[in-house]
Structure 1
Amino acid sequence: MSILFSPATFRSVTVRNRLWVSPMCMYSAVDGVVQEWHHTHLAQFASGGAGLVIAEATAVVPEGRISPRDAGLWSDEQRDAWAPIVDAIHARGAAAGVQLAHAGRKASTWWPWAAERGSVPVDEGGWVTTAPSPIAFEGYAVPTELDETGIDAVVDGFVAAARRAVDAGFDVLELHGAHGYLLHQFLSPLSNQRTDGYGGSLENRARLLLRILDAVRLEVGDGVPLFVRISATDHADSGFTPDEAATVAAWATEHGADLIDVSSGGLVAHQQIAVHPGYQVPLAETVRQGGRIPVSAVGLITAAEQAERVLAEGSADAIFAGREWLRDPHFGLRAAHELGADIAWPPQYERARWR
């Protein structure tokens, strides 16, 4: 029996398989409100056999957006726009998740296909960014250091967005602590040079993430699975390390996280990454600690046998893929066929099933 196509249960949610869709920013929202594009984009993966579809990094406050075109969950209008998308994912048999995010010093930037690069000026629709320390990401504007009141407001933003996400029908919530965004900025000594209770030691640098986990868990109750995405290394000298990531993952689990979604990088422009198929899988294995911490693996996982092998070797408990789903929105149906797993197809597609 295929491990990849076996179910997985997290608290009150059972996911039909372990081949999942990573959150991928579409930069296509209007004032944080998702559009028809997001509906078609996300629903197709559920039709294509995904077990869990996690919607893109969704800002918990307006100033937390990566770009002015990012999705949000700071208003009821945004919540109501997400609800039919969640319904469409559910109607096709998949679980629906959303990644709650704050971009910190990497906020207020141009979207990838804009003519400009770097930070969007305030007089052109941008805003002043915030971070643990007033250290800019290379080529971006210098952020303002968050004070205690600002940190409290960030926590409140995550809590309110989590409530709206659950009210919209999302099954799974993921806190974005990776890719150089705000929670990652607090975790890494390269971006966090504070001298108060949120800086210095690893315990202090992890304090904001754990505060948010506690507050969100209290808000949404015991039945909602909470995932945390982390960058397990900065790929840069003196940065966040895999051993530190494993420690933070253990703390996060103690504070109510149900799975650690292990990625890497994104904090600094001078990172050095050796990219190859499955290049981040060893990081997931380190964080998993021999099976003590549930983790997912991601990073150039593009083939069914490759994904199955990662699980069979005990490196991870589930697989996230991104670009392969963009190339083939029916990656799940294809992977099941290649592994000999008998899964349900949408009846509208049955005539195309490989025999």
Structure 2
Amino acid sequence: MGAGLIGREHAALLRANPRVELVGIADVSEAAQAVADEFGVRFFTDMREMLDQMRPDGAIIALPNALHVEAALACVERMVPCLVEKPIADSLDAAMRLVAAVEEAGVPVLIGHQRRYSPDIAKARQVVRDGTLGRLVAINAMWMTDKPAAYFDAAWRRLPGGGPLLINLIHDIDCLRFICGDIDEVMAFTSNAVRSFEVEDTASVSVRFTGGALGTLLMSDAAVSPFNWDTAAGQALYFPHQPENSYHLAGTKAALSVPCMDLWRHETEAGHWQHPLVRQHITLDGSRAYENQLNHFVDVIEGKAKPLISARDGAMTLATVLAIARAGREGRTVAVSEMLT
């Protein structure tokens, strides 16, 4: 559902995977007919009609944010498992409506935070959970890049619900939740000074994790920079790979940089700041995040696995980002729990 930028990429991934067969594309745009023709599948302008006629085993929802819940509910009503591109919804009310429907019906819904399937993110989570870093103390994350003017020809990207907090930083928030645990409180400054759109183009954020660690995030889609996971990890579908680090995790025993995966620690446990650090590179398996995500979705459809990020989990990531947006608007510390009451 949806034949835009990411929808076309999903279609290509489906066509390349021997475990699945792409059978239909639904999109209200006439231009999407050409995409369906390119992939040799049936084209529908009504997603419900596609679901009713094709009766698919699963569906991928790659529509604008505001349409995610409507499309997912259409799948849930027909007992069709679905993968919903992030964010789960453009509002928390809508997200929780979907969560309630999913949990009542028992239909698996997977939220498309694809970075969780990247080997660097999975390994970082393991390193933290194994205690290799000791007690986690501080986290720094960056996501900065320069989007071209043509990117904003799509009006929804310039309007509330479509800014880089919900389009981009939400990925980093989800990664940090996945690696480091839930976030309790946030503070933020946001700015739209570069483009003067209704949505932000830059934000600086401070967070407190449930486990006590503190974190900072710096985000901008109007700044030239290699410091973003999309290009740094080499996992993005349509960006050049430029090796760098976008996350730094520091604990009482060691520090880890991601995605280059260098682990820094002292030679002995008695070491401290006046002693040299030893760098150890962690080798990854070379797998691809989007391919891993699709294979996991197939496992979910076949009943072999539960969603790595459920609708409720996706709603918590959304709640955290919306808390950041509120903190920026109101100039105060916001507890994520406020968003859930």
**TM-score, reference length from structure 1:** 0.30
Larger-Rg structure: 2
Task: Identify, as 1 or 2, the structure richer in strand.
Answer: 2
